[in-house]
Amino acid sequence: MKRDIIGVIFLPLFLLLVVYPMVALLGHLNFEGTVKTLTDYYFWDSVKNTLIAAFAAALLGSFLALGFGYYHLFAQNTIIYRLANLMNDLPIALPHTVAGLALLLAFGRNTFGFISNTGLAFMLISVVLAMFFVSYPLAARAIASGVDQIDSEIIAVARTLGDTPQKAYLHVVVPALGEALFSGFVLTFARSLSEFAAVIMFGGNVPGSTQVLASYVFTKVEEGELEMAITASAFCIVLSLTIVVVLSIFNARRRKYA
Amino acid sequence: MFTKVLKKLLCTLTAIIVTGSVMLLSGCSTKEEQLNVYVAAGLKKPMEKVITAFQEETGVKVTPNYGPSGGLYTQIKEGQPCDLYFSADWLYIDKIEDDGNLIAAQKFLQDHMVLIVSETGKTKVKTVQDLNKPGVTVGICDPNAPVGVYAETALKNMDLWDQLNQTGNLKARPSTVNQLAIMVQKDELDAGLIFSSVAKGFGVEHVQTIPQEYTGEIIFGAATIKGGNEMLAQKFLDCANENIDEFIQAGWQAYQE
């Protein structure tokens, strides 16, 4: 009885609010739009840029999140940790155009002019930094919850055996974080795929060199090229699904042989 | 036991949702007159003054929806309630007519495209030809915004567009005219092409006005939309025409044949 009530409420709502919009989008795919998009040179460039940048952003995000995990475990009372924890909410709450503007003012040519005539802005690396900025908190949270799940006795044992906190973290905790690291990576990667407001403002959005898939879709919607926008969105959905599935299989294998 | 608690909880929840939605619905259907006006984001400041004046004069509640002209057009096409639409590009008025949603249209304001320069760009860029000089960094809006289409058209007509892409001087294609204005204002780029009204609004310096023969007529149009309150929309448009000085002060020109 209990299970039925949940099923009766959850299933229809889930199907209506989550699955149905995706199906509706895919249902509007048409042949002409598909051909037009798949033969558009800029479309494939944006796919390439997106994949490279999102992968780099997810790597960078996971790497930094590991550092956050250390503070989460051993230094919760420090100012650094409190600040870092607060910053985990900010980029998510901040309107992303503002995030892009913040990055532009921080890394633009007025401060980083020694790098190029646009500073660190308007290059592929800017796209990576923009994606990283908005998606890093997801990795940090994933690692923090992974750290919480580790048996505190194991860490205590390592500490009594003479490990410094840093050693204990690197040798005992990090190797056990595989799962959390994986989900952090996937979350950051997926979030990066869909980011465009910050990317447009800081990355440059020049077709061929710094345009990403999400802003390609945005442009096509605003231009009224709905058929192309729908094809590109469908591609986006398939791409994210494929990546998540492939990574999950990879992860399952790794666990089996670990 | 648990089932009972759960059931009770569900009943309360349903009750809350039902009463809530009834209240919301009845709130919407009160007979107070109101007007949905869709406005291209660039017109926001002067339009706010018109809205205040109109509300004081008539007591009608005006609900403005500011956004990119193309985005607003898509909303109208998809059937969102709209009485009056101010577009930054006549193209969308034509599209509304093609969709069969147009009652009447008026050429409302006129604008010009100007070449803006930043603190650093000032020394390097004097005319549009300078955009292709080595080391110059340029921003042109994305074609999703009308200003991007005008700029691209103008540069193509002047045979500068292909070269600009080949030199790699084109560094940014922001999605709104305001974003490009900010980039130049903050000296992150050397130069860009935007509307003179926007340049004035952001206080950025311009060094050249692009002749209309290259950009084509830049017309901000107003359209009354089928299914809306036609009388009231026309009344609002009259009010906007009476207050045209607000727009002229902000950098536009009244449309003249």
Q: What is the pLDDT of residue B5?
A: 54
CA atoms within 13 A on the CB side of B179: 30
Q: Are residues B247 and B171 in the same domain?
A: no
Q: Are residues B203 and B226 in the same domain?
A: no
Number of domains into which chain A is organized: 1
Q: Which pLDDT band holds residue B79 (cuts at 50, 70, 90)?
A: confident
For residues A118 and A109, the answer to whether their CB atoms sit within 8 Å is yes
Q: Counting Cβ atoms within 10 Å, is residue B34 exposed (0-12), middle (13-18) or buried (19+)?
A: middle
% of chain A at pLDDT higher than 90: 45
Residue B127 and residue B86: Cα distance in Å, rounded? Answer: 32
A31 belongs to a structural domain: no
Q: Is the pLDDT of residue B28 over 50?
A: no
Q: Do A222 and B170 touch (CB under 8 A)?
A: no
Q: Are residues B96 and B164 in the same domain?
A: no
Q: Are residues B89 and B155 in the same domain?
A: no
Q: Is B171 on the interface with A (CB under 8 A)?
A: yes
Q: Are residues B143 and B86 in the same domain?
A: no
Q: Are residues B46 and B119 in the same domain?
A: no
CA distance A182 to chain B (A): 34
Strands (E), chain B: 34-40, 61-67, 84-87, 102-111, 113-117, 138-139, 170-172, 191-195, 205-210, 218-225, 253-254
Q: Are residues B46 and B57 in the same domain?
A: yes
Q: Are residues B222 and B188 in the same domain?
A: no
Residue B255 and residue B111: Cα distance in Å, rounded? Answer: 9
A187 belongs to a structural domain: yes
Q: Is A101 on the interface with B (CB under 8 A)?
A: yes
Q: Are residues B82 and B123 in the same domain?
A: no
Q: What is the mean pLDDT of residues B16-36?
A: 57
Where is pLDDT greater, at A255 or B100? B100
Chain A environment of B137 (Cβ under 8 Å): 109, 117-118, 122
Q: Would the annotation count B138 as a binding residue? A: no
What CATH number is attached to the domain comprising A105?
1.10.3720.10
Quick one: tokens of A75? 């230094």
Q: Do A118 and B189 touch (CB under 8 A)?
A: yes
Chain B environment of A200 (Cβ under 8 Å): 142, 173-175, 179
Q: What is the pLDDT of residue A239?
A: 85
Pairing of the two strands B113-117 and B205-210: antiparallel
Residues spanned by the domain of A207: 54-257
A168 belongs to a structural domain: yes
User: For the segment B193-211, what is each residue's pLDDT rounded down to a tens digit?
Assistant: 999 999 998 999 999 999 9
A117 belongs to a structural domain: yes
- CA B23 centroid distance within chain: 34
The least confident of A3-7, A146-150, B141-145 is A3-7
The least confident of A142-146, A219-223, B24-28, B225-229 is B24-28
Residue A231 and residue B75: Cα distance in Å, rounded? Answer: 20
Strands (E), B88-200: 102-111, 113-117, 138-139, 170-172, 191-195
- A1, A105, A206: residue with CB nearest B172: A206
Positive/negative CA dihedral, A123, A129, A135, A139: positive
B234 belongs to a structural domain: yes
Stated pTM of the model: 0.80
CA distance A61 to chain B (A): 25
Number of domains into which chain B is organized: 2
A20 belongs to a structural domain: no
Q: Is the pLDDT of residue A77 over 80?
A: yes
Q: Counting Cβ atoms within 10 Å, is residue A83 exposed (0-12), middle (13-18) or buried (19+)?
A: exposed
Pairing of the two strands B102-111 and B218-225: antiparallel
Q: What is the pLDDT of residue B4?
A: 59
Chain A environment of B145 (Cβ under 8 Å): 222
B18 belongs to a structural domain: no
Q: Is the pLDDT of residue A138 over 90?
A: yes
Q: What is the pLDDT of residue A3?
A: 62
Q: Is B173 on the interface with A (CB under 8 A)?
A: yes
- CA B202 centroid distance within chain: 16
- CA A142 centroid distance within chain: 12
Q: What amino acid occupies position B59?
A: G
B15 belongs to a structural domain: no
Q: Would the annotation count B147 as a binding residue? A: no
User: For the segment B100-146, what is each residue's pLDDT rounded down to a tens digit?
Assistant: 999 999 999 999 999 999 999 999 999 999 999 999 999 999 988 88
B148 belongs to a structural domain: yes
Task: State chain A's mean pLDDT as an integer.
Answer: 89
Chain B environment of A223 (Cβ under 8 Å): 70, 143-144
Chain B environment of A224 (Cβ under 8 Å): 70, 73-74, 95
Instruction: Give B 82-121 residues with CB within 8 A of chain A.
Output: 95
Q: Are residues B246 and B193 in the same domain?
A: no
Q: What is the pLDDT of residue B27?
A: 43
What CATH number is attached to the domain comprising B134?
3.40.190.10
Q: What is the pLDDT of residue A1?
A: 52
Q: Is A205 on the interface with B (CB under 8 A)?
A: yes
B9 belongs to a structural domain: no
**∠A104-A220-B39 over CA atoms, to 5°?**
75
User: For the segment B141-172, what is each residue's pLDDT rounded down to a tens digit?
Assistant: 998 888 899 999 999 999 999 999 999 999 99
For residues B237 and B84, the answer to whether their CB atoms sit within 8 Å is yes
Q: Do B172 and A223 touch (CB under 8 A)?
A: no
Residues spanned by the domain of B239: 34-111+218-254
Q: Do A222 and B183 touch (CB under 8 A)?
A: no
Q: Are residues B127 and B203 in the same domain?
A: yes
Q: Counting Cβ atoms within 10 Å, is residue A256 exposed (0-12), middle (13-18) or buried (19+)?
A: exposed
Distances (CA, A) of B97 to B91, B104, B250: 10, 9, 29
Residues whose CB falls within 8 Å of the CB of residue B181, separated by 6 or more in sequence, listed in order: B116, B192, B194, B198, B199, B201, B202, B204
Chain B environment of A46 (Cβ under 8 Å): none
